[in-house]
Amino acid sequence: MTQPANPHRRDFLRQSTLFSLGAGMASHATASWADPTAHHTASPIARVRSGRLAGQTEGSIHVFRGIPYGADTSIRRFQPALQELPWRGIRDALAYGPAAPQTGSEAPGSEDCLRLNVWTPALRDGGKRPILFYIHGGAYNNGSGSDPLYDGGNLSRRGDVVVITVNHRLNLFGYLYLAQLGSAALADSGNVGQLDLIQALQWVRQHAAEFGGDADNITVFGQSGGGAKIATLMAMPAAKGLFHRAWTMSGQQVTAAGPRAATQRAQLVLGHLKLADADALRALPMEKLLEAVKVRDPSRIENSGLYVGPVLDARNLPAHPFWPQAPAQSADIPMVIGNTHDETRAFLGNDPKNHALSWDELPARLEAQQYTDLLPSVVIAEYQRLYPHYTPSEVFFAATTAGRSWRGAVEELEARARQGAPTWAYQLDWYDRGGDAANLRAFHTLDIPLVFHNLQQPGSRTGSSAEAQRVATAMSDALLAFARQGDPNHAGLSRWDPYTLDRRQTLQFDTESQQSDDPRGGERQLYQQAPFIQRGTF
């Protein structure tokens, strides 16, 4: 039996309880070191393709953490993963699995990271529940599916749905394009992180009935990098048919990395590591390869790390996700595309200087951070016309949001509208005006605890007021309605119409949520004076 990593969950290991698994199935006893004074309850047992799993019941929801859906990728670095190895007996699924290799707060991670987590109201009951498959943010560089904000218990309980979160390969391990620099074994290297997600979705479809879900009703949803990964999956032929609805939050992928640009970045990695042979990267210690994540990207003004993301490799990704049109293979998939009103306050709002800018300081600061090549004087003049009451700092945060975080959402919405595909737009305007993050307003990531209805989880900055609960219920119920029926409308919302080019209908989530036509239309028109190219992709 695999022992759990978290000793605080040992009370779920039964000292003497036996579990009847049906005719011919073995019984499972608790490890002898379990706390004999703890209250013991029978673990829910799931049967998956590689063996049996013992989860735990939290409230009314059965939870299985750290389930392997693929083998250790260290022996398949830069290659598509193999299926996980089978195990004997019953494997405990009580603790989250390791994050992917990364330099963030979950560093260093492990190459044996292909794990997913399941929350479900019931097992094997023929329930045909909608399945919600969440892909975490952190760009393509960091993060995991085990953040407390992604706990699926409340969503599963409120909506009678199955919720799944996932870990997959990131940064250089998942997206470094070496196809033109090494052997044939590296042909898929630029997109193996995406291929991991496809493998996880295949696992979910295979095991839907085991966890009380419907294999023909899978909603993928994700925030920031998670939304971008979803947009990319919508254009990958191997992902066709693996999901049926898509909900993205502040995350878009309009263009992928071109093969020339992606190869140039791989050459920077080889140069940094003083290697001439791309295949030599396969044997490099994990920690050594991670050092190259910090190589400065040539396309960026600020001193940030190397951009890696999905690659237009004419193999796994034959076309840019949303350019010059939305992917035809996903035209019948209902989609929600959302953003927060003050996205960049999450990135730029922690610098006190940005909250006290003068008009003289604004142009240089704006030029460095808006990411769109328009004269700052033109941008500032238009914002002063649109919002004459704005301070220099308010112009700065609004313009950087419109110029770098919101543009991709507009591009995707327009592409879907031209296609006639069923698409809804939202904008989160609400924020906790009395909380410690009030100066960040509706910042990037604020919608995560609202959609999951996890207001009191660590990391949430929504507060738990009645107002916050109302907004969370509106957003969470919209997601649940969307997962169940392919339309986000529900009794707690005023009418939310699909997005069209003539009206640009957008649901503004706030204390009183309501639909508006083309909110921030003036800002949209201002930034559409410049062509949109996703940063880092060329």
Catalytic residues: 224, 343, 444
Nearest to 171 by CA among 144, 199, 133: 144
Half-sphere exposure of 299 (CA within 13 A, CB side): 17
Bridge partners (DSSP) listed for residue 213 = 129
272: which DSSP letter? H
CA 130 → CA 174, 291, 300, 435, distances in Å? 29, 41, 41, 35
How far, in Å, are 55, 64, 503 from residue 90 at the CA level?
A: 10, 13, 56
Q: What is the SS3 assignment for 279?
A: helix
The CA angle 336-338-340, to the nearest 5 degrees, is 165
122: tokens are 């019931």
CA distance 263 to 178: 7
CA separation (Å) from 468 to 309, 445, 462, 510?
34, 15, 6, 9
Q: Using alpha carbons, list the distances in angstroms from residue 176 to 75, 170, 292.
A: 16, 9, 11
Question: What phi and psi values does residue 507 have, to the nearest 5 degrees?
Answer: -80, 120
Nearest residue to 177 via CA among 75, 281, 324 = 281
